Structure 1
Amino acid sequence: MRRRILSALVLLAVLAPVAWGLGRVQVDTSVASFVPRGDDAAAELEARDEAYGADPLVVLLDGGEGAGLLADTEQLYQLVALEGRLAGLDDVAAVYGPGTVLNQTAQAIQDVLVQISGAVDATRNVAEEEARAAGASDAEAVAAGDAAVAPLEERYGTLLADGMGVGLPTLRNPSFARGVLFDDDGTPKPMWRFLVPDAKSATLLVKPRAGLDQAENAELTRQVRHAVETATTTSAAPDPSGPSGPSGPAADATGLRLASDPVITGVPALTSAVSATAADEAPRLGLLALVAVGAVFLLVPWARRRRDRLRPVACALLGTATTVAVFGWADRPLSLGVVAFLPIILGVGSDFPLYLSQAGARRQVLAVVAAAVVAFASLVVSPLPLVQEFGVALALGIVVTAGWALVLRRVLGAVQPAGTEPAGTEDAGTEDAGTEDAAARPAPPARGPRLAGAVAAAALAVVGWAALPSLPLQTSPQELAAGLPELADVEAAEDVLGFSGEITVVLRGDDVLTPEAARWSTEAEDVVATGYADRLRPLLTVDRLLGFLGEDATLDQVDAAAELLPSYLLSAAVSTDRTTAASTYGVVLDDLDDQRVLVDELRAALPEPPPGYTVELAGLPVVASSGLEAASSQRYLVGTLGILGAGLAVAVVTRSRRRALAVVATSATATGWVFAAVAVSGSALNPLTLAVGALVTVTSAEFVLMLRQARRPGWRHLRRSVLAAAVAGTLGYACLALSDLAVLRSFGLTLAGGVLASLAAAALVVAVEPALRRGGPRPDPAPAAAAPAVPTRDRPGPGTSRAVRPRPTDKEPVG
């Protein structure tokens, strides 16, 4: 009793920090998980986000009621007030909307008019005074003043002529709003169409600051959604004096009048939805997997006592919780793989406690554990952090689960298998001791049919491996959201705006506001307009801001234009230190192969930059294309390294080349079958299913080693254990098919098929192996004489008497 109390106290002391670590775990589905670390495209995206803000949250406001949001002065003030509130949120880098464009343009024109008027007056006065001091007449002094202000009028007069044609630059002047945003026929000007989709509606682009983690991203999405909903339902007049708000009378108290509910979408909203879904599904799918696996172990009579049958599930649950807690202790967020991680560890992880809880065969089981750890750890060679973290978590989970199994074995004693008592010591150097009973073993089938079946199976596996390079691969973050209702919002934005993502052409140099740099930006936009108008839509570009200068602009004219443009707009395309110019184009986030071709073609088609300047492309499509290329280039490496590593681990632990070869043959065959099934079904691989080779390797190593052991006398009960493990693993993986995320559904079904393929391949290898030995199947040796009984070293469980087992005398030759 004292020992049990002490054990319970130790267990509680261990579980307390585990629970604390679990409470600190976060799920991260950010873009960084799908981008190779150190990748140039990722670095370029990070630099762009630091300078101009990350990919925006897109707010669609349908102002189809009445005069709309822009022609109605009161609604326009409400819109500016909303944009001001959004710009004031802590994690917002910039907000772009038609209200702020009008307000900032009006303020900039007013400021410039005051500055020009003051500069002209001061210049004229100084020139006239100097002329009179030199003895000039009044007429000559006036002429001197006119000559002095002529350069100023030439520099600024043309630039202001168009603006003064729309009247006073103020939001209360409807002509001003129409002149800035609309053509003469009342349609939005092309350069503003991404903010003004039609004459009555508006689009707001809320760009988060760079480097937000997933929790901050989700909170910002919530705040934006709350601010927009408040602006359309509030009964109190908003304060229009925000960072971008106009000065003037309060707006109407009814809020923005919309024809339909606002739509809030964009990459941040989409990744937040995926993260929330993953976090919500993790415990639900984990519980389903726990129930399914527990039911299998409880119903399959692999142990004599029913209460012992749930011990593997308890070990797997402890191992899963401890592994996830480790990430909490380290303050490392788990990627999307955590949702898949739970059923996998419960499915595969419970197999090792199943075997370790039984007496004997410890070295065989430890060989399987080593193979599993090496196979999972081999995923670190993948270029994608998502896959790397997934492999590390699984390898750690296997080690921890096996450790818990040994602890519970020490505390509770060995489980007595159903059926005959196992023969052999717990660890007598090798467990392949003794031979099958010749009288009980059926005559082996003919060698020819077995070899023919093996050749056919190997041929199918070769077909699958050969098809691997041609299997489509998806690494886009948008693919993760397949199956979520938030994708409908993305499609709505694409229908209205014509884009759902951004590609930015970044020009770098000592000064990007020079005539040479401006001409290059114009040439670059011409290339996009002539060759890619059906796929790229200009948003905020340098040419659209400075293109009115023409091709022969001087440095003074470029500087003057930069002074006239609102800093709010200029900062969207030119960094404050004038060393970076960014021209952003909208693109539909679609098939990654098509986007990769688009990125490659655009990079090659852009004109050579001026001497001393460099050009790069930045954006999620560029990053996704880079991730796709990196992952595709290492398909065979990721697929084969785990298989070879598992075989090596088995060879080291068991000191048997024959077992290692059996593991490699089974793993390669089962994995090839899975790839062939994916090719036939027309499915696409994703970062998780690309790692299926490592998972199939683990189950293949387990099944072939255990089935080989089950052929020997006294070990037939292992067949029942292998069957329980296979059914439990299949059901545990199949639980992922209940996920709302399509990527996890396909992953779960692929893994469930992989378990069945592993079992079939293991049975085939075990059946064919004797026929492959030189001379065909070996004759059965005479039964060995019984050795003196020795006590088992297993500690008996409660109510269990110490058993004695014969020590085997025959061992299979090593190698």
Structure 2
Amino acid sequence: MSPTRRSWMARVVLAAMGLGLVALTVGGIARLTVSTDYSAFLPEDGQAARDLRDVADSFGGDPIVVLLESDDANGLLAGERLAGLLALEGRLSGLRNVAVAYGPATTLNQTAIQVQNLLATISGRRDGLKEADRADDLARFERRYGALLVQGMPAGLPTLRNDDFVRTVVYDAAGEPRARWRQFVPDAHAVAILVRPRSGLDQAGLKNLVDDVRGVVKDDTTVKPDRTTITGVPVLSANLADQVRSELPLVGGAAVALVAGALILSRWRRNTLQRLVPLVPMLAAVAATLAWFGWRGTPLSLGAVLFLPLMLGIGSYYPVYLAQRGHRRTVVAVAAAAAAAFACLLLSPVQFVQDLGLAMVIGIGVTTGLSTLLYRGGGENPAPTREATALATRRISVTAVAGFAALLGAPAVLGWLALGSVSVETSPETLLSGARGYDDAVTVQDRLGFAGELDVVLEGDDVLSPEALAWLRSSEEEILRTHGDTIQSVVSPGQLLGFLGDHPSQSQIDAAMRLLPAYVTGAAVTVSQDRAVIALGADLDDLATQQETIASLRSMTASPPDGFDVRIAGIPVLAAEGYDVLVRDRHWSNLAGIAAAGLVLAACLRRRRDAARAVSAALLATGWGLLAATLLGVALNPITIALGSLTAAVGCEFAVMLSEARRSGDRSLARSVIVAAAVSAAGYSALSVSHLDLLRQFSATLVAAVGLALVAGYAVSLTVPRSTRGTSQTTSRPQLAGVR
């Protein structure tokens, strides 16, 4: 075969391979899905997460809240509108993937049925005693139930069409909703319906259910509320998924535009097109990484939005550095160190932080590999010349170094010491600030008087035995008596079976459970009666109060009946556990990335002292950042709490590259560090276009980290003896604009 033919065939093979890679990349990105479930923001492997999943399996997930408002007082609980509300609740409970739905009309209807059956039972029992001529038993019976009949008569017939009955049951003498009705009737102008999704729904199923609920409410023509608000954790999750998908191209486009603009304005190469060449490996790395997540088949969390600008920012370093010939080994070493720092994010208990760390490791590897091929003409650093060796042996005054270290190190030490006192935010509601529908959630939260749900779960062979039911009732009463200012009952076995009196027998309990429909009892008791729940609405915005309340509930419920187990579950419990995990590991999560980057540099660099300088720069920059956060009162979140790992990814390489530039007298390399810092800051700032407060805060943190890392890197590089001649670097390299 002729050389020409072999060359042609090689080109065909390479072209086919290239097209195959492009097809794989496009196919992977097409398969990419985004998950924004609350579990992505919180640890998912702890006991609290397992308890929450178990409760969801038995009673459904966190509810979708439908708040209906009327300008007329009591307007929604009277006449035809009340009948329409009952029908609406029935249609919502019949939706596919709904575990249970309950609201004021359903509860009122069951109350009316219970009263009717109770009156019929009393009447039948009385007639039976009278016919049997059992005068003494009849007298005792009338003394016991006569007062009940007299008390109930002013309300009239127990039916939903009797407005007097409804008002008597729901409202007190002052016209305010009774305490047990506040979860459904927050005031005289509003009612709430709670729709619990079936457990195990994926993001698409949850979104479809939210859309179905909205459709049913919109199509209703009988209730005619003046205002309707649909919210809750499932709604926020579905909204956030839509928002992430819509903001992904916006943030990505902004990052590309800002990075491209920074590359052009930096004038780091004479030709404008040459200045934009680093975008090629960066964009290819982004596409390849997203494709890998797509082919993996697992949904990508919020880390997808974070990854784009972060990769475009930090990915600009390596092509810019590699464009300066003679430093390839150093560039590969700092890239490996950055990847090691980001790999430490995989140790986070939070899913979207893990996704971000994994994506960055893959992206840095692909960018560095492609950049090395793109600038493959670059060579290794030559051996130092005699003159350079002589310069390198000169030492800076020990006194000057000590004073310099004290000046820079003091505030950094204060920052590291303050890390233990910096506040940490783990509340999903706060982390979701800025999401679509967040304001609606806050409004409904204020209206209903609770933001989250705490569940007291009792497990055993028969949770409706007289002994277990008595414990459930007494525990609920004690909780409400102690924490009534921040907690209210939503649903419980004690509520459902309250009409049975204080000490019902097993036969009475069994008869009542047969009487009540499954969609009502299913909100508090499983079909097999091996698990019961006291669902409590909790208004616990302050984390300290939240932890104290959870501890108090555990103390109150610590002694269930023999043979039964009890646990406290709910998103507030998961948030509290997440806080404990993050706070406990805060020092480790910051030091791990710095240590990993330092070890990689020590293994890969010729000069171990540069690795020490890199670690020092990362420690300084992180300490300064923590001190600034403390002084400004900025709370850390699950991402920024690992500030050390984030700063190490940039601080270490700035220190190494600036030290190399100072040692060799390479002005173009020093300038490339400044260019890389400016480009990365531009890329990170793209996150500020997001409406999510979490992402905007992360953007500001990253830009600040770049600035601090650059200052720290320059500071530690001053400890390197400076070369005033260029003889230590003999390999030719491209001339930069403005550099002679």
Aligned-pair distance for 1:649?
A: 0.9
- 1:94 matched to 2:77? The reply is no
In the alignment, the residues of structure 1 paired with residue 383 and residue 715 of structure 2 have an alpha-carbon distance, to the nearest angstrom, of: 19
The offset of 1:750, in angstroms, is: 0.9
| 1:41 maps onto 2:48 in alignment | yes
For the 8 Å contact 1:454–1:764, the answer to whether it is kept is no
Output the amino acid matched with 1:347: G
| Structure 2 CA distance for partners of 1:530 and 1:704, relative to 1, 3 Å | same
Are residue 323 (structure 1) and residue 286 (structure 2) matched? no
Name the SS of the counterpart of 2:532 in structure 1: strand
Q: Which residue of 1 aligns with 2:703?
A: 752
SS at match of 1:262: strand
Tell me how far apart the structure 1 counterparts of residues 565 and 21 of structure 2 sit (CA, whole Å): 56
How far the C-alpha of 1:478 sits from its partner, in A, is: 0.9
Aligned-residue sequence identity (percent) comes to 40
For residue 450 of structure 2, the aligned residue among 474, 479, 499 is 499
Matches within 5 A, 1:385-400: 385-400=351-366
CA change 1:781–1:502 in 2 (3 A) is: closer
Output one character per residue of 1:653-696: Cα deviation in whole Å (capped at 9) or x when no partner: 22542222122111111111111111111100001111222121
Q: Which has the larger radius of gyration?
A: 1
Find the aligned partners of 1:431 and 1:282 in 2 and give their Cα distance. 44
- Compare 543-552 and 673-682 and name the one that shifted more: 543-552
Instruction: Tell me the equivalent position of 2:240.
Output: 274
Matched, 1:596 2:524: no
Task: Report the counterpart of residue 3 of structure 2 in structure 1.
Answer: none
**1:426 maps to 2:379:** yes
What residue is the counterpart of 1:728 in the other structure? 679
**How far 1:702 moved relative to its partner?**
1.4
Which stretch of the first structure deviates more once superposed, 575-584 or 542-551?
A: 542-551
Distance in 2, Cα, partners of 1:432 & 1:459: 37
1:536 CA displacement: 0.8
Partner SS state of residue 625, structure 2: helix
Superposed, 1:513-532 pairs within 5 Å as 513-532=464-483
1:664-683 alignment runs, 5 A limit? 664-683=615-634
Q: What does 1:14-163 align with in structure 2 at a 5 Å threshold?
A: 14-65=21-72, 68-72=75-79, 74-106=80-112, 143=132
Q: Which moved more, 1:94-103 or 1:47-56?
A: 94-103
1:191 aligned residue: 180
Question: In structure 2, which of residues 193, 210, 219 is the aligned counterpart of residue 221 of structure 1?
Answer: 210
Which residue of 2 is the match for residue 212 of structure 1?
Answer: 201
Q: 1:170/1:6 Cα in 2 relative to 1: closer, same or farther (>3 Å)?
A: same
- In the alignment, the residues of structure 1 paired with residue 202 and residue 387 of structure 2 have an alpha-carbon distance, to the nearest angstrom, of 59
What SS does structure 1 have at the residue aligned with 2:718?
A: helix
CA contact (8 A) 2:449 2:539 kept: yes
Q: Is 1:310 the equivalent of 2:276? A: yes
Structure 2 match to 1:738? 689
How far residue 490 of structure 1 moved from its aligned partner, in angstroms, is 2.0
Q: Structure 1 293/432 Cα, relative in aligned 2: closer, same or farther at 3 Å?
A: farther
The CA distance in 2 between the partners of 1:385 and 1:609, in whole Å, is: 35
Give the TM-score normalised by the residue count of structure 1: 0.81
Larger CA deviation: 689-698 vs 585-594:
585-594
The within-5 A match list for 1:770-785 is: 770=721
Equivalent-residue separation in structure 2 for 1:362 and 1:449 (angstroms) = 32
**1:462 deviation in Å?**
1.0
2:4 aligned residue: none
AA matched with 1:327: F
Secondary structure (helix, strand or coil) at the match of 1:311 reads coil
Q: Which residue of 2 aligns with 1:766?
A: 717
Question: Which deviations, in whole Å up to 9, do the C-alpha atoms of 1:575-606 show, x marking residues without a partner?
Answer: 11111111111112513333122212322233
Q: Give, in whole Å, the separation in 1 of the partners of 2:234 and 2:525.
A: 24
- Indicate if the aligned counterparts of 1:168 and 1:176 stay in contact, CA closer than 8 A: yes
Structure-2 separation of matches of 1:709 and 1:782: 12
TM-aligned CA deviation for residue 106 of structure 1 = 4.7
Unmatched runs of 5 consecutive residues or more in structure 2: 1-6, 736-740
Label 1:617 to 1:393 Cα distance change in 2 as closer, same or farther (>3 A): same
Structure 1: gaps spanning 5 or more residues: 128-138, 235-254, 415-424, 771-776, 801-815
Shift of 1:323: 0.5
2:640 pairs, out of 689, 692, 714, with 689
Q: CA–CA distance in 1 between the matches of 2:537 and 2:257? A: 47
What is the identity, as a one-letter code, of the residue corresponding to 1:292?
L
Partner amino acid for 2:654? Answer: F
Are 1:70 and 1:200, in contact at CA under 8 Å, matched by a contact in 2? no
Q: 1:184 to 1:479 in 2, by over 3 A?
A: closer
CA distance in 1, matches of 2:243, 2:87: 33
Residue equivalent to 2:738: none
Instruction: Name the amino acid aligned to 1:143.
Output: A
Alpha-carbon deviation of 1:321? 1.3
TM-score normalised by length of structure 2:
0.89
Counterpart among 349, 360, 374 of residue 408 in structure 1: 374
Q: What CA distance in whole angstroms lies between the structure 1 residues aligned with 2:528 and 2:519?
A: 15
Note the C-alpha offset of 1:363: 1.2
Alignment-derived partner of residue 243 in structure 1 = none
**CA positional deviation for 1:222:** 2.3
Q: Structure 1 565/591 Cα, relative in aligned 2: closer, same or farther at 3 Å?
A: same
Residue matched to 2:490: 539
Aligned residue for 2:205, secondary structure, equals helix
- Provide the rounded CA distance (Å) in 2 between the counterparts of 1:338 and 1:151: 72
Residue 701 of structure 1, CA deviation: 1.8
The answer (yes or no) to whether the contact 2:647–2:709 under 8 Å persists in 1 is yes
Task: Report the more deviating stretch, 541-550 or 455-464.
Answer: 541-550
After superposition, the C-alpha distances for 1:396-417 in whole angstroms (9 at most, x for unaligned) are 11112222223434xxx54xxx
Cα separation, partners in 2 of 1:591 and 1:353, compared to 1, 3 Å: farther
Q: Is the 8 A contact 1:435 1:712 kept in 2?
A: no
| Contact 1:363–1:431, Cα closer than 8 Å, also in 2 | no
For residue 82 of structure 1, report the CA deviation from its aligned partner: 1.7
- More helix per residue: 1 or 2? 2
> What is the SS of the residue equivalent to 2:193?
strand
Cα deviations by residue, 1:125-169 (Å, 9 ceiling, x for unpaired): xx9xxxxxxxxxxx9xx6399999999999999999977875555
Contact 1:28-1:333 within 8 A present in 2 as well: yes
